[in-house]
Amino acid sequence: MADHGTRNFRAIASDIAEGYVSLNPLYLKPFNEVSLKSLYSIVMKVQASIRDEPFPYREVELIRKRNLKLQRLYTALIVIKNTARERKYKFL
């Protein structure tokens, strides 16, 4: 994997939301405490920005896509939290 200093965490978070990246403990293995903290905060920001968008009333497909993005981001946050807890990181 690339150097942690050159990672674009916002791109990773948007890829998670779109479903291109599936976050799991193996994917997070090379991340250190600072990188995990940065990724966690960016995922929270992306989640908030999706929630800030106007709700697409009466458009079932757009509602489904929005909810799927939020679900993927929430799952990623849980995986990051559990990985940090297993490694005994204290940033949360």
10 in any annotated domain: no
Q: What is the pLDDT of residues 4-26, one digit of tens each?
A: 455 799 999 999 999 999 999 99
79 in any annotated domain: yes
Range of the domain at 32: 17-86
77 in any annotated domain: yes
8 in any annotated domain: no
Is the entire prediction scored with pTM above 0.85?
A: yes
- Indicate the average pLDDT of the chain: 92
Q: Assess whether pLDDT exceeds 50 at residue 1.
A: no
3 in any annotated domain: no
- Percentage of residues in the chain with pLDDT exceeding 90? 89
Report in angstroms the alpha-carbon separations of 13 from 8, 9, 51, 58, 60.
9, 6, 15, 28, 24
Domain total in the chain: 1
60 in any annotated domain: yes
One-letter-per-residue 3-state SS of 34-49:
HHHHHHHHHHHHHHHH
